[in-house]
Structure 1
Amino acid sequence: MNPLTKKLNSALIAGLLTVSFQAKADNNVDTINLVTQEQFKDFSENLTGIFGHKTTLPAEPLGVLGFDIGVSVTRAQTNYKLSDQSKQKDDLYLYSIHATKGLPYGMDIGIEYTQLDDSDASAVTGELRYALVEGGALYPAVSLSANYTQVNGMDAIDYHGAGVDLGISKGFANLTPFASVGMVYSNVDPKNTNVFTKEDVSLTKFSAGANLNLMIMDLSVAANRIGDQNSYSLKAGFRF
């Protein structure tokens, strides 16, 4: 393994371990400090932009023997400080572990664990993808995917969400650009309060990125936009 590969893997894994052992507070949602239902709706959309599933993989299927495993770091835009819900733009970091397995008939199934930096909040996402077109030398792969996310660790809010994506990708030697368009849905339910009611959020999603195969490992970079919030991901792992 070359020095660059070692540094990237070490940095991503160190980020995951740091999140697990640090003192957590700044990004916890322990209480709701908003005033109106409209503010809670806007905050719910902000949470959806943070926790909505991020696309980091090409559309082409892995095949029956294929695997994609890796770790990633995502810088996500936020419009609120999570701990007190004050309106201010900032960036949050999320650290993820990914595992995807190829299945027969152009199907892939994946699972992802994500930890929000400086927080008790974590998310587990399951994804199922089907290759409408498996792709080839002269034409791109096209996939349809569905995902479900459950977030735990927010004392004041119960969050779960789902999404659908239509993706496309085309390999050129060892580089595979990809893009997708879809929708993200979430159910944001306030706990221990009679002031606010549950919000059902629906936001559009756009993503674009590229996967680079370095023979000994794969690197993927991706940009996702959910509603009006952007995020940028770097993923390192193995795809075969």
Structure 2
Amino acid sequence: MKRAFFVVLFIFLVSSVFAEDIEFTDSTLTQGEFESFTKELGVALSFNPMSPAETLGVTGFDIGAELVVTDISDNKKYWETLVDDNDPSSYLPVPRLHVQKGLPFNIDIGAMYTAVPNSNIKLWGVELKYALLEGTAATPALSIRGSFSKLEGVDELDITTQSGDILISKGFMMLTPYAGLSALRINGSENSDLVNFEDVHEVIYRGLAGLQFSPLPLFVINLEASIGEVNQYGVKAGIRF
């Protein structure tokens, strides 16, 4: 499992290089800029599936470390003024610890948490997945999934997300490709004395594609991309059984 340790270490080292505090420092920001910022940050804070459609079964567990990077508009004023050093990176990385547990009746539950290194961003989320089709050697698995996430640690900003996903996957030897469609609702509000913006409620739709690779017994690596108005790319390393 030495290889797994280095993958997990890499995930958190990469995230710590780019992390920055989020804070309001410019009173000239507009409502539209706040809405764009909330939408992009909300996507970065959403709870991505990072697993195929097939459920774990009653005795199953999936425990992993993830790094999800979001392609943000780093050249826009709202990012340049809302990060503490006024020099945002092109991608916003958010590491997560992600745990899933299989339950009876084709149900999985899960949770994730992160405290981003060198940043005031903390995040937690929960998920529920139900298999409409369990999948067999000849047929794919089909699941629906709901998730919720909440930003913590940024005193001047409240963001929550809710998503509904439909996922399909089919395993082949050590590989399990999967794909899905997602509707993501982002809710944001500010608590700053410097600005006064209306609350933001946005819904965006995305497609996602992923690949789970099992190079060793119990050890899995996931690669996932979510494509839409705001794009994301993720990697996960963990233990699944």
> What TM bracket, shorter-length normalisation?
0.7 to 0.9
Q: Matched residue pairs, number?
A: 232
Mapping of residues 103-122 of structure 1, within 5 Å: 103-122=103-122
Q: What runs of 5+ residues in structure 1 fail to find an aligned partner? A: none
Distance 1:77 1:150 in 2: 20
Is the alpha carbon distance of 1:83 and 1:161 closer, same or farther for their aligned partners in structure 2, counting shifts above 3 Å? same
- Identity, % of aligned pairs? 28
Q: Is the CA contact (8 Å cut-off) linking 1:79 and 1:89 kept in structure 2?
A: no
Residue 27 of structure 1: CA displacement?
Answer: 2.5
2:13 to 10, 15, 18: 15
Cα distance between partner residues in 2 of 1:196 and 1:87: 24
- What is the one-letter code of the residue matched to 2:237? A
C-alpha separation in 1, matches of 2:171 and 2:49: 17
Counterpart check, 1:221 vs 2:223: yes
User: Which one of the candidate residues 56, 62, 67 is aligned to 1:62?
Assistant: 56
Preserved contact between residue 134 and residue 142 of structure 2 (Cα < 8 Å): yes
Question: 1:201 is matched by which residue type in structure 2?
Answer: E
Q: Which piece of structure 1 moves more, 75-84 or 36-45?
A: 75-84
The 5 Å alignment of 1:83-98 reads 84-85=81-82, 90-98=90-98
Contact kept, 8 Å, 2:65 with 2:96, in 1: the verdict is: yes
Aligned residues of 2:218 and 2:240 also touching (Cα < 8 A): no
Matches of 1:10 and 1:43 in 2, distance apart? 30
The corresponding residue for 2:185 is 185
Alignment TM-score, normalising by the size of structure 2: 0.87
Partners of 1:4 and 1:88 in 2: CA distance:
32
Deviations 1:154-176, CA, capped at 9 Å, x for gaps = 12211111110000000011110
Map 1:141-160 → 2, pairs under 5 A: 141-160=141-160
State the shift of 1:88 in Å: 7.1
1:49-80: CA deviation from partner (whole Å, max 9, x where unpaired)? 21122221000010000000011122221114
Q: Normalising by structure 1, what TM-score? A: 0.87
Q: How far apart, CA to CA, are the structure 1 residues paired with 2:150 and 2:182?
A: 19
Q: In 2, Cα distance between the equivalents of 1:233 and 1:42? A: 22
Deviation digits for residues 173-197 of structure 1, max 9, x if unmatched? 1110011101111110111346211
Structure 1 CA distance, aligned partners of 2:229 and 2:115?
A: 22
The 1-side partners of 2:23 and 2:167 are apart by 36
Counterpart Cα distance in 2 of 1:87 and 1:40: 18
Question: What displacement does 1:89 show?
Answer: 6.8
Indicate conservation of the 8 Å contact 2:46/2:148, yes or no. no
Match of 2:168 in 1: 168
For the 8 Å contact 2:43–2:186, the answer to whether it is kept is no
Mapping of 1:9-48 within 5 angstroms? 9-12=8-11, 14-15=12-13, 19=16, 27-31=20-24, 33=26, 34-48=28-42
Residues 180-236 of structure 1 show CA distances to partners (whole Å, capped at 9, x for unaligned) of 1011111101113462110111111221111111215111111123x4222211111
